[in-house]
Structure 1
Amino acid sequence: MQDHPSPASASPEALAGAPGQSGDVVGEIISEFSEVIAFARSRWTRYAEDVHPELRGVGLIMLQIIVRKGPLTATGIAQMLDMDKAVVSRQIAKLRELGLVEAESAPEDRRVMLLTASTKAQTLLDGIRVKWAGAYHERFIGWTEAELEQLRFGLHRFNATADHVAPGLPSSRCTRDHTDEASAEPEPEPEPQASSSI
């Protein structure tokens, strides 16, 4: 029997160029992710409005990233989310105004501001996670523990290969050549456009 490469070992080019086989599967996965992203966006927007009318859903996403991976710089967050730094800076400024994010100078470069989440932010996100979990539990009705574990493992494996986990993005590396990181406050720049990757 002839061996066939598994999707896990196939190259991106092979996956993208295999109509009727892996290519179709990847296309379907992308479509499913699009629906998940739309669902997540609507939830984050709703929760952000509950916190403050001027806070956007992406602001809460940034806060979650800071809680999980902080301390981070605004530049590091912009790279993770593939967003214009001015957009990130405005949302960070709002999070700081609300007492959810704190900033302090990096020991190795005082011009660089490292962002960390406050205790208030952790409490806020804990409450949001309860609401979020309820929404997902409704969608997971009928799933077995094995199916949930398989999904968790697959998503973890997928996320582990993302660009944002590459060396150089953690806060300790974000200081290199970031002379524009003297402050996380927004700068007077033209109205930016957020990337469509969120």
Structure 2
Amino acid sequence: MHAQPVLPLRIETERLILRPWSEDDAPALRSLWAERDPRARRRITPDGRPTVDELREQIHDAVTAQERTGLALLVVEQRSTPGFAGYCGLVVGQATEAEPELAYELLRRIHGHGIATEAARALVAAADVAGWTRLWATIRDWNAPSRSVAGKVGFRESGRIDRDAERGDSLWYVRDAGPR
């Protein structure tokens, strides 16, 4: 039994299915890592890490952690094109289990179709129903599309900024639970 709220492990919308990870998602996750902006912290290193096998281990560890915490980072799939399109979920990240962080990222070919907004909106609604009262998101100042998604699903800038001259400042967004 969790002292914290528990996020459902499957969320469906008109166009999307948010589902648990499978180790079979590791190659697509590695593709996502490979196409990240050079300023992103987690990227494929010059020596090729993480490997697909290392990402499989990370997926296994994440699934184990979600059983313990009630938080979940879910794979985003489009109903029209099954398979890994990205992820969306709640993580501890730079926040806490009691006030987790919303995280989302999609493969570049998926950008520009409202998929991130639809996934984040469904995830935030599920978090409200589950009982979280406050959510956070940290977004690099240069990432205007992610900042836009956060605003569309009810987040606002909190005023907190983590300065980073190398990768860009991280802006903290906050969202208090809506009506239940």
- Shared fold per TM-score greater than 0.5: no
Would you tell me which structure has more helix in proportion to its own residues?
1
Higher Cα Rg: structure 1 or 2? 1
Would you tell me which structure has more strand in proportion to its own residues?
2
TM-score (norm 2): 0.28
